[in-house]
């Protein structure tokens, strides 16, 4: 796992955007369009803004690129501004100039939710798998909505949100009661199949989850620790999010010398 510690949220966004640009260009070199895994929440917003700025100034063309959102609330109308259908449309599809037909979000309104999850897995497979999955991390260590105790082999499915996650996400809604109890989420097994993982986190509130993910044991109690199993995962964090790590000096040494071994 690469651990990249930078000074500010803007630096986190720039470093993550650079990796996405690299993945898009790499796919293009092989005459195909990249498939991106898309996180929602506040953490990746700066990354999407950095990419949108490149699209606006003409240095990045994402036409043909497709995207798969990580998750969606169950029972929230797609027109609700906090549904991930709406969030992906307004913070990703539109600003990045993606074709909406190429951007999928799990269907939390489906009458048969498990069939919708199976269809979602199938559409990822049909697209040839995800080239780069962008991730955030919950204060309880979740990735997607894979809450603590989620199986590392899990696939896209229905999950019940923990009280902690509902409290954390209440800031997006008018009240805690409005935060849905359930979500559909790509599983940890699904996420681990992406060819590259990039997790971004900012702020002290994430420091304990970040330390458990990077330096803690592999454990379903910290779903993000599954990133330790991935051969191509980068965690890009600011100093506050890195503040509970023990090996900071080592990670900085590795990154300072990375050009010598790449």
User: Residue with CB nearest ligand F6R?
Assistant: 136
The long-range contacts involving 175-178, CB below 8 angstroms and separated by at least 24 positions, are: none
Q: Given the rule CB under 6 A, which of 33-41, 52-60, 174-182, 229-237 is the region that contacts ligand F6R?
A: 33-41
Q: Which residue out of 85, 142, 202, 238 is catalytically annotated?
A: 142
In whole angstroms, what is the distance from residue 75 CA to residue 59 CA?
39
Pairing of strands 132-135, 66-69: unpaired
Give the range of 40-48, 100-108, 150-158, 242-250 binding ligand F6R by CB under 6 A. 40-48
Q: Which of 183, 175, 200 is nearest to 16 (CA)?
A: 200
Residues in contact with ligand F6R, shown as a per-residue x/- string from 110 to 149 under the rule CB under 6 A: --------------------------xxx---xxx-----
Is 168 considered catalytic here? no
Per DSSP, what are the bridge partners of residue 185?
A: 71, 157
42 binds ligand F6R (CB under 6 A): yes
When binding is defined by CB under 6 A, the residue of 6, 70, 103, 235 that contacts ligand F6R is: 70
147 is catalytic: yes
Catalytic residue (one of 85, 131, 140, 196)? 140
Find the shortest distance in angstroms from Cβ 23 to ligand F6R.
18
Residues whose CB falls within 8 Å of the CB of residue 240, separated by 6 or more in sequence, listed in order: 202, 203, 204, 207
The 10 Å Cβ neighbour count of residue 61 is: 12
DSSP bridge partners of 196 = 132
# of chain residues touching ligand F6R (CB under 6 A): 13
Give yes or no: 140 in active site. Answer: yes
**Which among 98, 106, 112, 75 is positioned nearest to 187, based on CA atoms?**
106
Q: Give the shortest CB-106-to-ligand F6R separation in angstroms.
A: 10
CA distance 36 to 68: 6
Q: Which of 11, 71, 72, 131 is catalytic?
A: 71
**Coil vs helix vs strand at 80:** coil
Does 39 interact with ligand F6R (rule: CB under 6 A)?
yes
Q: How far is the CB of 169 from ligand F6R (least distance, A)?
A: 7
Structure tokens at 77: 């109308």
Q: What angle do CA 183, 229, 261 make, to 5 degrees?
A: 130
Alpha carbons 54 and 65: distance in angstroms, whole number: 15
User: Is residue 71 flagged as an active site residue?
Assistant: yes
Closest contact distance (angstroms) between CB of 25 and ligand F6R is 25
Query: Minimum CB separation from ligand F6R for residue 192, in Å?
Result: 15
Using CB under 6 A, list all residues that contact ligand F6R.
39-43, 70-71, 136-138, 142-144
Enzyme catalytic residues: 71, 140, 142, 147
């Amino acid at each position: 796992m690469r651990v990249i510690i930078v000074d500010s949220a803007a630096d986190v966004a720039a470093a993550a955007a650079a990796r996405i640009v690299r993945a898009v260009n790499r796919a293009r070199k092989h005459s195909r369009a990249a498939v991106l895994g898309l996180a929602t929440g506040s953490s990746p917003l700066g990354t999407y803004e950095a990419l949108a700025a490149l699209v606006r100034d003409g240095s990045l063309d994402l036409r043909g690129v497709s995207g798969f959102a990580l998750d969606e609330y169950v029972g929230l109308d797609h027109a609700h501004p906090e549904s991930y259908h709406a969030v992906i449309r307004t913070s990703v599809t539109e600003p990045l100039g993606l074709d909406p037909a190429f951007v999928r979000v799990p269907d939390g309104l489906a009458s048969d939710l498990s069939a919708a999850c199976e269809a979602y897995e199938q559409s990822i497979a049909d697209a040839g798998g995800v080239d780069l999955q962008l991730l955030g991390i919950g204060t309880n260590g979740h990735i997607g909505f894979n809450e603590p105790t989620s199986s590392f082999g899990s696939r896209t499915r229905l999950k019940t949100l923990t009280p902690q996650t509902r409290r954390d996400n209440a800031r997006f809604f008018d009240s805690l009661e409005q935060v849905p109890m359930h979500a559909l989420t790509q599983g940890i097994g699904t996420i681990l199949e992406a060819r590259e993982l990039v997790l971004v986190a900012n702020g002290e509130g994430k420091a304990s989850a970040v330390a458990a993910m990077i330096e803690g044991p592999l454990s379903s109690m910290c779903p993000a620790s599954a990133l330790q199993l991935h051969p191509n995962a980068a965690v890009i964090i600011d100093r506050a999010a890195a503040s509970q790590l023990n090996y900071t000096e080592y990670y900085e040494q590795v990154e300072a010398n990375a050009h010598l071994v790449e």
